[in-house]
Amino acid sequence: MKSKSQWSTAGKIFCLAAVLCLFIFIALDKRLTVRTYQETTPFLREPVRLTVITDLHAGIYGEGQNDLLDAISRQEPDAVLLAGDIADDEVPGDGVWMLVSKLGGKYPCFYVSGNHEFWSGRAEEVKQEMETYGVEVLEGEGRLLEVQGQKLQIFGVDDPDCFGNGARLTDGTSEEWQAQLASCKYQREEGVYSILLSHRPELVQDYKDSGFDLVISGHAHGGQIRIPWILNGLYAPNQGWFPEYAGGRYELGEHTTMIVSRGLCRNELPRVFNRPELVVVEITPE
């Protein structure tokens, strides 16, 4: 017969194991979450609601992408913004087209490329396919979005690797990328809320004085590993260790805000305290 001390030790071990299992489950949780950001502007009379999809990497969310589609539908967005790496260079594109084929006919959709589309060698094919489903492809240009009689401008630039002739750029951007950004800035109308879609968050010096009200990016995957309230991200591509712009909302100077989505990628790399996210941006009148 076991003594009380033996039962006590066994109970402690069981409790410790249960706590450890719960900790691991929470830390490695890859279930989809929705993160909402609030922005205000004097240029609108009624709220505008946008959903942001980044870094899907052709991942699958339920049969026919229904988990992700249902999450988007519940937000009742006025438009869907696809900010790069929707496709991937190593994963078949079925997950992309299951999603886009259903979004394009239901919402105004706007797309910019990410680096992985170019690494795949199929960037132009992806763009053409996007257009067949009614998605606006932005390459250094803008489109007008009208919501309840209100105007917003949605601009977008290609990922810098678009201009690397197949190589991966390691030293920032090229003249061609800068020309796309300059074209967007030139088309911007004063007194109209303006959004720039650009996959890379680390190019803050280019965004800071651009004049856009909002910049939306992805690419960093939330820094992959996070520690809540302590570490916002461990490592991000093109930023390195302890990235400053891993995910969240950032003020860039006096007039421009940048929102960096932590993305939807659920590949083999672990996401620690870093659930894949659908971002919602609600823009309301001041």
Mean pLDDT of the chain: 90
Residue 167: per-residue pLDDT: 44
In 3-state terms the chain splits into helix, strand, coil percentages (rounded to 5) of: 30, 25, 45
- 132 pLDDT exceeds 80? yes
Structure token pair of residue 28: 């490695």
CATH topology of domain 32-285: Purple Acid Phosphatase; chain A, domain 2 (3.60.21)
Does residue 222 register a pLDDT over 50?
A: yes
Q: Name the band, by pLDDT with cuts 50, 70 and 90, for residue 22.
A: low
Give me the mean pLDDT over the 21-48 stretch: 85
Mean pLDDT is lowest, of 129-133, 180-184, 251-255, 256-260, for 251-255
Phi, psi of 129 (to 5 degrees): -65, -40
Contact 197, 238 (CB under 8 A): no
* Mean pLDDT, residues 257-283: 94
pLDDT in tens, 49-104: 999 999 999 999 999 999 999 999 999 999 999 999 999 999 989 999 999 999 99
Give me 56's structure tokens.
Answer: 């899907």
Higher-confidence residue of 67 and 23: namely 67
CA dist 142 → 123, 131, 139, 179 (Å): 19, 15, 8, 14
Q: What is the pLDDT of residues 153-172, one digit of tens each?
A: 999 999 999 886 544 444 55
DSSP-derived pairing of the beta strands 48-53 and 277-285 = antiparallel
154-168, 174-188, 249-263, 268-282: range with lowest mean pLDDT: 154-168
For 130-165, the DSSP string reads: HHHTTPEE-SSEEEEEEETTEEEEEEE---GGGGST
Q: Are strands 214-217 and 235-236 parallel, antiparallel or unpaired?
A: unpaired
Residue 195 is given by DSSP the state E
Sign of torsion over alpha carbons 240, 244, 249, 253: negative
Q: Is the confidence at residue 174, as pLDDT, over 90?
A: no
High-pLDDT (> 90) share of the chain, %: 77
Calculated CA dihedral for residues 49, 250, 246, 91, nearest 10 degrees: 30
248 compared with 172, residue with greater pLDDT: 248
Can you spell out the DSSP letters for 216-265? EE--SGGGSB-BTTTBS-SEETTTEES-TTSSEEEEETTTEEEEE-----
Residue-wise burial string across 19-37, b where 16 or more C-beta atoms lie within 10 A, e elsewhere: eeeeeeeeeeeeebeebeb
- Phi and psi at residue 70, to the nearest 5°: -65, -40
Confidence of residue 2 (pLDDT cuts 50, 70, 90): low
The CA distances from residue 195 to 20, 28, 237, in Å, are 43, 33, 23
Give long-range contacts, CB 8 A cutoff, 24+ apart: 120-129: 120/87, 120/88, 120/89, 120/90, 121/89, 121/166, 122/87, 122/93, 123/162, 126/86, 126/87, 126/93, 126/96, 129/97, 129/100
Residue written as tokens 């988007």?
Answer: 72
In the chain, domain spans? 1-30, 32-285
Q: What is the average pLDDT across 168-191?
A: 83
